[in-house]
Amino acid sequence: MVSLEEIRSPEDVRKLHKDELPLLCDQLRQKMIDTVSVTGGHLASNLGTVELTVALHRVFRLPTDTVVWDVGHQCYAHKLLTGRYDRFDTLRRKDGISGFPKPEESEYDSFITGHSSTAISAANGIAKAKALSGDDSYTVAVIGDGAMTGGLAYEGLSNAGRSEDRLLVILNDNKMSISQNVGFVSRYLSGLRTKVRYVRWKQKVATTLRSIPLIGHPISNLLEWFKKKMRRSLFTDTSYFEKMGYRYLGPVDGHDLDDLVQAMLSAKSIGKPVLLHVTTVKGKGYPEAEKNPDIFHGIGVFDPATGAAQVGGDSFSAHFGDTLCQLAREDDRIVAVTAAMKKGTCLDAFSKEFPTRFFDAGIAEGHAVTFSSGMACGGLLPVFAVYSTFLQRSFDQLLNDTSIMNNHVVLAIDRAGVVPDDGETHQGLYDVAMLRAIPHTWVYAPSTFKELELNLRQALYDTDGIAAVRYPKGGESPALADYEPSYKHYDYMDSKRRNLLLVTYGRTFGEVQAYVRKRQRNGEHLSVLKLNRIHPLPEDVVDIAGQYATVLFFEEAARQGGVGEHLGACLMLHGYTGRYAVRAIDHTLGACTTAQGLEATGLDVAGVAAFVEEYTGE
């Protein structure tokens, strides 16, 4: 009897009898459910790709053949089949298994795909490199239909379709991305899904005809010619992909192993770009995930018996959603935009209360920004809620489509700073440096929920151009329980001593404040300058900092291009002769908890104390 524990490589999968494969699929699903219920993770998408993954490992010879996953959060079964079963319980943990493909983790992982819509372009490049070196192995891109709302997917499709390379694009069509799929692509694929019975009938007829001696193959070839003539009318409309240079196969039931294996073998026999359309059910095999695929897309700790998730505490995201609803009741010009992250950014309530003023652009952050800029041209007040890591994908649209015209667009930047669990691709460390480079941009960094509400109003009504409010995942620091935000762009807590000034903003203010209070209990008093608007720097900040013998800046963002680096440059230009140092983040961060991330970067209370001691000896 097959045992998942004994599967160490794709070779082991190929050795199994096909009758053993359903049991292997059941074991894969159970292992995922058991593990993710403890670690949290992307469950629904992985449950939906179990048979697809097993079929890939049966037909292709990894790592000689190459598979690129898009988005990479659907690769859990792949990891379990490639020698990582024993470490799977470390999923998304510090020094454990990544929740995404990671080449340094395994030779079977070819490309880091933490963001959407990248696989076809990457696979196109890998396939081209193979072709130029005389390597006749196959390259496979597995891309979800939700990722097909991203423009990069079409750039990759267009370029790869012109090649003669051995490339297979598997379109995993589950009618979902993270939130419900939207737009033309979703409607187009829905039309193709209705033709599954025809495709199965065609395959059976072809197999039967070819088995007839002498006349079978000629008749089959004639029918193939006739099928091509009819394809664009009665049966299926596959011309979209075929005009891009692909041989279209499918739709194929993504949970029927026999059909999947046969389709993949057919794709291999063609020897040039093929698009295989596979239909799957997100959450397959776990009733709670099938009923609630959006909730189980990315879920925290939950009870596998009931599907009930642990309830998290109050969060900045939830307060943003509540505040935006309140503001929208007061001002009908306010509209909300998301890029397939309605639940993650807490816009559910807004979408229900203001359905005509809520827009999900799909996984297309660049479009979402330009779309928002266009609405601003029409007199609306667009608020684009987006994770920091995904905002990076819209730099050109922020600069050329928004800033240059000074269009007023508000960015609600969620998951700013250290982000737990998902690793390098999801850390929110680079938005500050990116936005500081763009003219006509204002950036606020609230430390508390009340301050978030205040900053959102300021961003909407006290600025022009691009106005961003960045806030972390999770809740506010207990050290700030009695902190009252001010309408000013900074708060200056002056100890009347000019030996040391601590400067910071956002969540890090809570860590600095906790350290300062420890010193106060010993009768020591420190000066703190807390920035509320971090860009542009308030005019008085340089003058205040210039009075101190030592200035230490703590920043939960990238050092290069950050606010701390900028303040240092301003001080130098003003002839500052004291000591100035910045504690910020100058390296990538893998999977970790928030506390572990702050500790690793020296931005927790202990890190603040160590940095102060290093520069002052205190």
What is the DSSP secondary structure assignment for residue 176, as one 8-state letter? Answer: B
State whether residue 538 is helix, strand or coil. Answer: coil
Whether 365 is a known active-site residue: answer yes
Q: Which of 365, 453, 511, 555 is catalytic?
A: 365
Cα atoms in the 13 Å half-sphere on the side-chain side of 236 = 24
CA distances from 584 to 64, 430, 502, 508, 569 (A): 41, 12, 13, 10, 15
Whether the bond between 273 and the residue before it is cis, its omega within 30 degrees of 0, is no
Q: CA triplet 68, 73, 77: central angle to 5 degrees? A: 80
Whether 227 is a known active-site residue: answer no
Starting at the edge strand that comes first in sequence, how are the strands of the sheet with 527-531 ordered?
Answer: 490-493, 527-531, 500-505, 550-558, 579-585
* N-terminal to C-terminal alpha carbon distance within the chain: 66
State whether residue 558 is helix, strand or coil. Answer: strand
Place of tokens 């291999």: 268
Residues with Cβ within 8 Å of residue 57, at least 6 apart in sequence:
10, 13, 14, 78, 81
State whether residue 597 is helix, strand or coil. Answer: helix
Residues with Cβ within 8 Å of residue 568, at least 6 apart in sequence:
553, 580, 582
Q: Which of 29, 58, 84, 282 is catalytic?
A: 282
What is the C-alpha to C-alpha distance for residues 413 and 428, in angstroms, rounded to an integer? 9
Which residues sit opposite 414 in a β-bridge? Answer: 387
Q: Closest Cα to residue 119, out of 149, 142, 148?
A: 142
Phi, psi of 457 (to 5 degrees): -65, -40
Q: Which of 130, 393, 415, 470 is catalytic?
A: 393
603: its two tokens? 């931005």
What is the C-alpha to C-alpha distance for residues 181 and 193, in angstroms, rounded to an integer? 15
Whether 393 is a known active-site residue: answer yes
Residues belonging to the active site: 282, 365, 393
